[in-house]
Structure 1
Amino acid sequence: MNEQTLLLLPGWALGPAPLAPLADALRRRLPPCYRVECINYPALTSHRPESWVAALDHELPQDAWLVGWSLGGMLATSLAQWRGRRARGLITLGANASFVARPGWPTALSGGALKDFQRGLQASPTRTLRRFAQLSAQGGQDTRRLGRELVAALASTPLDHALAGLEVLSALDLRDVPGTLKIPQLHLFGDSDALVPAAARQAIAERLPEGGRTASIAHAGHAFPLEQAERTAALMADFLLSSDGSRQEAAP
């Protein structure tokens, strides 16, 4: 098998460090021909999703598997749409097709709740980021440890970058994108996620083309890629090897 690149895009305002255990777990499960990279976002303050996607397309290797957690999953989906066949496949982790509720898509956070969060981030960033860490850890089995790890990661992100990322998160509307992608895709969810409603899994599953998959991880909140890195890596590795194996068999 030729060398494959697997790009891990982090969650909102978190940077690549929290995904390191998942990256290590994937390296143990995948053949040496898979190169796993944790990505650091460019220092962007633009509020336009297309600016972020264009920057990622410019900086990241082509013909790679695009994997993202939360905001990273939404950006990976948007980048997969941008690249078309130049993306090898897509895996999202705890990512909704729209983070805020829209007509026909109620399985998301209310617009009012997101506005309150934005105001809180500007007025009291430390308190608001701590609350976000708690919500991300909620539903897991070791919420205190998870919360501490997330607070530490959030503290390293400049406020203007966090605010820009929040605007991008609010603006991204990918409800119709999964059904248009011609690449393998897997969407994983935590069954007790406080930020992405469980019903989002079914809503996304109904829009997937043939071969697209979803799965839910039990006893897991939004931070399941951290707390359940081995379980997450196992599901991802099975899908990756199956998809790439099928692709090789179909090649002339």
Structure 2
Amino acid sequence: MTSLVLLSGWGIDARIWQSLSDCWPDDIAVDAPDWPGYGRHTEREFPTSLPELAEYMHARLPSDAIWIGWSLGGLLAAALLDWLPPPRGLVLIGAGATFCQADGVSAQELAAFRHAFARDPQATWHHFLRWQLQGEPAPRTALKRLLDLIGPRPVASPQTLATGLDLLARLDVSLQLDRPPCPTLRVAGEQDKLLGDAARHAAQVTLTDSGHCPMLSNPAVLVDYLVGFARFADNHVPQAHRVEE
């Protein structure tokens, strides 16, 4: 049995992955834990340091699984390679080495967004949902699908969301991606408005008719690529890294 761990992005809890639930083959085990401060874990805030985050996520990110991170979740998964035992494989969906890119979302745009968030977190969160869905073939349909999954309000406090925005501004996983300790795959939507051209070109898989949220617009196609990579990575794990099943 091949195990996958799915990690959501900024402002969105693990329920977004329910859009893939009908697509997984029987020999794939899927877990979608929430980040601290999200979902069922709103009793605490998202930690501001990566070592503290690694300590919290240690049991939720086992080394005998494929880690699949979307957007901020991909950046965090790559960053945690410095603090946790490496997984069998790592997938980044809709994520480059940094969130801010010269030909994508600029540092100035993110700073303006953070300023707006400080004034009105709820309205800014809704704006972000619409913003990230601009590249989908049917943005309004995708937004309805997303809100049906996660509800009309964020399941994280303004403090947790602000911490996430700070991480988007400062995380750089270039070194982890240049010298990864495990097989990696980068997946990008062809119309992803949050990725610059360089980040899209660096992806090994480009999904046509998809933007930043292919799990909403093309779930079956996305799952096919994820399962194919997971089986490849599972067959290329050093013997010492294997766990008997």
TM-score of the pair, normalised by structure 1: 0.82
Percent identity, aligned pairs only, is 26
Change over 3 Å in CA distance of 1:64–1:250 after alignment to 2 = closer
Residues 81 and 176, structure 2, Cα contact 8 Å, conserved in 1: no
What residue ranges of structure 1 are gaps of 5+ in the alignment? 206-213
What is the letter of the counterpart of residue 97 of structure 1?
A
Q: 1:146 aligns with which of 142, 145, 153?
A: 142
Deviations 1:97-123 (A, max 9, x none): 10124xxxx344211111111111121
Q: 1:35 aligns with which of 22, 26, 29?
A: 29
Distance 1:74 1:145 in 2: 27
What residue ranges of structure 2 are gaps of 5+ in the alignment? 38-44
Q: 1:134 aligns with which of 127, 130, 138?
A: 130
Q: 1:224 aligns with which of 214, 225, 243?
A: 214
Residue 111 of structure 1 is matched in structure 2 by 107
Partner SS for 1:170: helix
The alignment status of 1:6 with 2:9, answered yes or no, reads no
- How far the C-alpha of 1:23 sits from its partner, in A, is 4.3
- How far the C-alpha of 1:185 sits from its partner, in A, is 0.8
Partner SS for 1:196: coil
Residue 211 of structure 1 is matched in structure 2 by none
Distance 2:50 2:170 in 1: 7
Deviations 1:62-107 (A, max 9, x none): 32211011011111112234335x4111011101210124xxxx34
Distance 2:241 2:96 in 1: 33
What is the letter of the counterpart of residue 15 of structure 1?
D
Deviations 1:194-229 (A, max 9, x none): 111232133x46xxxxxxxx1100121111122211
Change over 3 Å in CA distance of 1:50–1:99 after alignment to 2 = farther
Greater shift in the superposed pair: 181-190 or 37-46? 37-46
Residues 88 and 237, structure 2, Cα contact 8 Å, conserved in 1: no
- How far the C-alpha of 1:21 sits from its partner, in A, is 1.9
Residue 236 of structure 1 is matched in structure 2 by 226
Partner SS for 1:87: coil
- How far the C-alpha of 1:165 sits from its partner, in A, is 1.2
Distance 1:251 1:39 in 2: 23
Distance 1:10 1:251 in 2: 26
Distance 2:194 2:143 in 1: 14
Residue 90 of structure 2 is matched in structure 1 by 90
Give the root-mean-square deviation of aligned CA atoms: 2.5
Distance 2:4 2:219 in 1: 16
TM-score of the pair, normalised by structure 2: 0.84
Residue 55 of structure 1 is matched in structure 2 by 56
Partner SS for 2:88: strand
| Corresponding residue pairs, total | 232
Distance 1:149 1:132 in 2: 15
- How far the C-alpha of 1:134 sits from its partner, in A, is 1.0
Residue 177 of structure 2 is matched in structure 1 by 178
Change over 3 Å in CA distance of 1:125–1:7 after alignment to 2 = same
Partner SS for 1:122: helix
- How far the C-alpha of 1:249 sits from its partner, in A, is 9.7
Residues 97 and 173, structure 1, Cα contact 8 Å, conserved in 2: yes
Change over 3 Å in CA distance of 1:57–1:162 after alignment to 2 = same
Residues 2 and 231, structure 2, Cα contact 8 Å, conserved in 1: no
Deviations 1:139-178 (A, max 9, x none): 1112112223445635322222111111122221112211
